[in-house]
């Protein structure tokens, strides 16, 4: 018998999330491979007559949602959203998240903050006891990058974390640029004992635009795991 694959798990989580969407909703639409499955399923429901409008969290999501036939708006046009559905890189028992593996964390956080509800869809393997095995993305302004890098390292140490902070590069080895024209520093920390303290410390660094710790934003999580040869969501 064929095993349950990552795509099966992503689909199971996205299917459950699409079932939460009702006519007239204003949606935040997340970024990443799991969000892309949600976009495809949402597009199918739109073609069947569902009337929703979405705010994309990245240029990649904008392109995918447009191709799926989903009506889109900006946060200027729709400053309040009913529901955001997005993936995550890690989630803990308090629904604290690490996001930004796809470099979309700034728009993802702005959209989640503007939403009454944020539901995370993910493979249950993303669930962790302690955040930090996944490198924490920190979006920084290109101006004064070296100074900001040092200040971020100091903020990380002051929050009781150890590890390397590395500038993310694209496939051509150039410093990666986000949709907002910023860079990403990835903090390889192993574990983050106090996410709230680290969040506050990072925000105190002027060159930090945003970081990938999503604290108090997720209101629900749909996690999919393989059991008895099938994908199950909890």
Q: Would you please indicate which residues are annotated as catalytic (active-site) residues?
A: 108
Binding site annotation covers 86? Answer: yes
86 binds ligand 5RP (CB under 6 A): yes
Q: Which is nearest to 191 in space by CA: 150, 215, 160?
A: 160
Q: Candidates 29-37, 139-147, 165-173, 176-184 — which segment interacts with ligand 5RP by CB under 6 A?
A: 29-37
Q: Select 38 or 198, whichever has its Cβ closest to ligand 5RP.
A: 38
The interface region with ligand 5RP, picked from 15-23, 32-40, 71-79, 145-153 by CB under 6 A, is 32-40
Query: Which of 14, 70 has the CB closer to ligand 5RP?
Result: 14
Taking the complex as a whole, the smallest distance from the CB of residue 45 to ligand 5RP amounts, in Å, to 20
- Count of residues engaged in binding ligand 5RP, rule: CB under 6 A: 17
Q: Binder to ligand 5RP among 56, 100, 132, 201 (CB under 6 A)?
A: 100
Give how far Cα 151 sits from Cα of 30, 131, 201, Å. Answer: 30, 22, 10
- Give the integer Cα–Cα distance in Å for 40 and 67: 9
Q: Which residue, 136 or 205, is less far from ligand 5RP as judged by CB?
A: 136
Q: Give, in degrees to the nearest 5, the angle at Cα 33 between 104 and 46.
A: 95
Helix (H, G, I), strand (E, B) or coil at 152: helix
**Residue whose tokens read 């192993």:** 190
Using DSSP, state whether 170 is helix, strand or coil. coil
Q: In terms of Cα–Cα distance, which of 36, 24, 12 is closest to 225?
A: 12
Binding residues for ligand 5RP, per CB under 6 A?
30-34, 86-89, 99-105, 108
């Amino acid at each position: 018998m064929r095993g349950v694959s990552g795509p099966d798990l992503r689909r199971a989580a996205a299917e459950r999330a699409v079932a939460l969407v009702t006519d007239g909703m204003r949606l935040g639409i997340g970024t990443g491979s799991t969000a892309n499955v949600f976009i495809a399923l949402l597009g199918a429901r739109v073609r069947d007559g569902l009337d929703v409008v979405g705010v994309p969290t990245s240029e990649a999501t904008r392109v995918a949602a447009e191709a799926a036939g989903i009506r889109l708006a900006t946060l200027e046009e729709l400053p309040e959203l009913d529901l955001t559905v997005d993936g995550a890189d890690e989630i803990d028992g308090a629904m604290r998240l690490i996001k930004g593996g796809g470099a979309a964390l700034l728009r993802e956080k702005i959209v989640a903050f503007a939403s009454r509800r944020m539901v995370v869809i993910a493979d249950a393997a993303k669930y962790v006891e302690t955040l930090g095995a996944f490198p924490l993305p920190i979006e920084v302004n290109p101006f004064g990058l070296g100074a900001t890098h040092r200040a971020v390292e100091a903020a990380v140490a002051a929050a009781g974390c150890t590890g390397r902070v590395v500038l993310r590069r694209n496939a051509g080895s150039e410093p990666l640029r986000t949709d907002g024209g910023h860079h990403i520093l990835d903090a390889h920390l192993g574990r983050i004992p106090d996410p709230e303290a680290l969040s506050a410390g990072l925000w105190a660094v002027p060159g930090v635009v945003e970081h990938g710790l999503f604290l108090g934003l997720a209101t629900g999580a749909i996690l999919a795991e393989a059991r008895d040869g099938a994908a199950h969501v909890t």
